[in-house]
């Protein structure tokens, strides 16, 4: 058993990461290659060809020195809602419209009017402009629809190149394109009414299904041996949840990368009249509720591209919390815990220098995270299980402690806090084991963080000021504001 190697590919916002992991959860090889994007106002694009180039570079690095005969499968995750159009040969015809690209506001209104009954049945009520289906409508309105045109989700380009032919999309990435997870099919009548030809839609497979194999050309480009099974993956947030081992009822994983993504486990479909929380299918009969914020560590890299963040962290830790800065990764727009396309970063309190600003962003993210949990609890999602931190932000110990203190609950940090681990776990289920069983064998907890009760009380005061500010400016409905205060009292 321990002789097998599973490959996890994580196509993120700033880089592609590839890990080679054995059955015991030991990382035997790793590779990373940077990505660059173009943000202009509400638009966020990347060149799809660089996704493949970066995957090849990262995979070759991860495979260096490994026995190819031991490689038993791979799975790919990517950002949720990122799409492009390609021709019948898989050549991109458009840029990749990224997960937080919000250009499709007009199209989202039409999508919600046309498919509202379906979206309500699926629990998320309405689609946001950054979701894939409104962006697909925008693409089709602004590009000639030719015979053979294909919709590709971000990982679909990678699996096509690996296999040398188009493979099915996974249902996880297809969710924001309107795939009906209850009926397990595309709602073709909705696409017909939107004027979108069903022929552009990919086939869809459930995550964990073997959908193809690496071909000779894919093997030559990546170093992953030909014949390696390709397993249908999941979105990056779900991948991090698997990698964190957060699979018990009421368990949650908080992924802090460029943006913040929360995913949990529920025994029922969680419905959100506000349309910011949505549910993926989980293992067995479970659901994976959660949401993706536009806030995150990207707020740091956007402001301090070349600064030494470790030095700033040390200085911020010495000074302690003060101001609160809303930590948007882009220029404007929030998706979760509330939808506000026009929201811009704001500051509560005084900022004297870079250290204050830096700590303000750390505190602001922790406030957003707590508000996400308050909203999930208001919706009736089970939130009392184990909580894990994953993503690049989890490597910052001070930030993790600050988040733990503000939440006031114990946190687990996995040894390998990366989405690519989750894809290695999912790939390993191809041998017939359950996801929970596989994760139990492959995921190890590195540390536990306990909250400081005194600091929790002080930070809660800051948090409630943050809630009041959002409520006073019409961003938060009264039920959520009241619920946040009620939970703070307990």
Among 150, 144, 102, 147, smallest CA distance to 127 is for 102
What is the number of residues in the chain?
Answer: 490
Strand partners, 231: 75, 210
Q: 185: which residues sit within 8 A by CB, 6+ positions away?
A: 179, 204
* Model confidence at 145: pLDDT above 90: no
* Model confidence at 283: pLDDT above 80: no
CATH number assigned to the domain with residue range 5-236, chosen from the 4 options 2.30.30.240, 3.30.420.40, 3.40.50.720, 3.40.190.290:
3.30.420.40
Among 297, 479, 482, smallest CA distance to 391 is for 297
3-state secondary structure of 141: helix
Architecture category of domain 247-416+452-489 in CATH: 2-Layer Sandwich (3.30)
Among 291, 255, 295, 297, smallest CA distance to 275 is for 291
* Model confidence at 77: pLDDT above 70: yes
pLDDT at 403: 98
Where does the chain hold its CATH 3.30.420.40 domain(s)? 5-236, 247-416+452-489
* Model confidence at 271: pLDDT above 90: yes
- For 26, half-sphere exposure in the C-beta direction (CA atoms, 13 angstrom radius) is 7
* Model confidence at 288: pLDDT above 70: yes
Q: Measured at the alpha carbon of residue 91, what is the angle toward residues 220 and 221, in degrees to the nearest 5? A: 10
Average pLDDT over residues 181-198: 95
* Model confidence at 42: pLDDT above 60: yes
Q: Would you give the DSSP letter of residue 194?
A: H
State both tokens at 36: 């660059």
* Model confidence at 417: pLDDT above 80: no
Q: What span, in angstroms and rounded, lies between the C-alpha atoms of 153 and 175?
A: 11
Q: Are the CB atoms for 75 and 10 separated by under 8 Å? A: no
Q: What span, in angstroms and rounded, lies between the C-alpha atoms of 413 and 415?
A: 7
Among 159, 207, 158, smallest CA distance to 179 is for 207
Q: Are the CB atoms for 283 and 436 separated by under 8 Å? A: yes
pLDDT at 430: 87
State both tokens at 248: 């018990």
pLDDT digits (tens, 9 = 90+) for 362-413: 999 999 999 999 999 999 999 999 999 998 899 899 999 999 999 999 999 9
* Model confidence at 192: pLDDT above 90: yes
- Strands (E) in 13-153, as ranges, are 15-22, 27-34, 38-40, 43-46, 71-78, 83-86, 96-97, 150-153
pLDDT at 385: 93
Per-residue pLDDT band for 195 (boundaries 50, 70, 90) equals very high
**Taking the model in full, what pTM does it have?**
0.86
pLDDT at 199: 92
Residue 253 vs residues 14, 241, 321, 376, 443: alpha-carbon distances, Å: 21, 5, 25, 13, 13
Average pLDDT over residues 119-123: 94
Average pLDDT over residues 287-291: 93
Per-residue pLDDT band for 144 (boundaries 50, 70, 90) equals low
Ramachandran sector of residue 166 (left: φ over 0; alpha: ψ -120 to 50; beta: rest): beta
* Model confidence at 490: pLDDT above 90: no
pLDDT digits (tens, 9 = 90+) for 320-378: 888 999 999 988 899 999 999 899 999 999 999 999 999 999 999 999 999 999 999 99
Q: 189: which residues sit within 8 A by CB, 6+ positions away?
A: none
Of 123-132, 208-217, 245-254, 332-341, give the range with the top mean pLDDT: 208-217
Among residues of the chain, what percentage have pLDDT more than 90? 81
Q: What span, in angstroms and rounded, lies between the C-alpha atoms of 28 and 140?
A: 43
Residue 125 or residue 161, greater confidence: 161
pLDDT at 433: 85
Per the prediction, the chain carries an average pLDDT of 94
Per-residue pLDDT band for 231 (boundaries 50, 70, 90) equals very high
């Amino acid at each position: 058993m321990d002789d097998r190697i599973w490959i996890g590919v994580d196509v993120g916002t700033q880089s592609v990461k590839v890990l080679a992991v054995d059955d015991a959860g030991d990382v035997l090889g790793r590779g990373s290659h940077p990505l660059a994007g173009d943000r202009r106002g509400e638009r966020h694009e990347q060149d799809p060809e660089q996704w493949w180039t970066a995957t090849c570079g990262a995979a070759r690095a991860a495979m260096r020195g490994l026995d190819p005969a031991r490689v038993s499968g791979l799975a790919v995750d990517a950002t949720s809602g990122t799409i492009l159009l390609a021709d019948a040969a898989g050549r991109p015809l458009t840029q990749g419209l990224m997960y937080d690209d919000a250009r499709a506001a007009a199209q989202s209104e039409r999508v919600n009017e046309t498919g509202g009954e379906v979206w309500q049945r699926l629990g998320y009520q309405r689609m946001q402009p950054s979701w894939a289906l409104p962006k697909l409508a925008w693409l089709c309105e602004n590009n000639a629809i030719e015979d053979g045109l294909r919709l590709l989700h971000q990982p679909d380009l990678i699996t096509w190149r690996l296999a040398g032919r188009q493979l099915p999309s996974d249902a996880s990435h297809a969710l924001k394109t309107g795939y009906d997870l209850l009926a397990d099919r595309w709602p073709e009548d909705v696409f017909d009414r939107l004027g979108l030809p069903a022929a552009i839609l990919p086939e869809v497979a459930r995550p964990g299904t073997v959908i193809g194999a690496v071909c000779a050309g894919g093997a030559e480009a990546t170093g992953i041996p030909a014949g390696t099974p390709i397993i249908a993956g999941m979105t990056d947030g779900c991948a991090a949840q698997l990698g964190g081992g957060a699979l018990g009822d009421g368990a949650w994983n908080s992924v802090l990368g460029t943006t913040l993504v929360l995913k949990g486990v529920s025994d029922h479909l969680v419905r959100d009249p506000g349309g910011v929380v949505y549910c993926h299918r989980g293992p067995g009969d479970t659901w994976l509720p959660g949401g993706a914020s536009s806030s995150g560590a990207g707020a740091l890299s956007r402001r301090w591209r070349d600064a030494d963040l470790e030095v700033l962290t040390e200085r911020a830790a010495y000074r302690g919390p003060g101001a609160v800065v809303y930590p948007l990764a882009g220029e404007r727009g929030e998706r979760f815990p509330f939808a506000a396309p026009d929201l811009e970063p704001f500051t509560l309190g005084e900022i004297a220098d870079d250290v204050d600003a830096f700590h303000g962003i750390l505190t602001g993210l922790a406030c957003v995270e707590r508000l996400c949990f308050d909203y999930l609890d208001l919706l009736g999602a089970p939130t009392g299980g184990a909580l894990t931190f994953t993503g690049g932000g989890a490597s910052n110990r001070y930030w993790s402690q600050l988040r733990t203190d503000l939440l006031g609950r114990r946190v687990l940090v996995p040894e390998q806090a990366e989405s690519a681990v989750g894809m290695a776990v999912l790939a390993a289920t191809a041998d017939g084991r359950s996801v929970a069983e596989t994760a139990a064998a492959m995921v190890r907890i590195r540390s536990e963080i306990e909250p400081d009760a005194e600091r929790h009380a002080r930070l809660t005061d800051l948090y409630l000021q943050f809630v009041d500010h959002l409520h006073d400016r019409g961003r938060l409905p009264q039920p959520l504001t009241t619920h946040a205060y009620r939970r703070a009292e307990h």
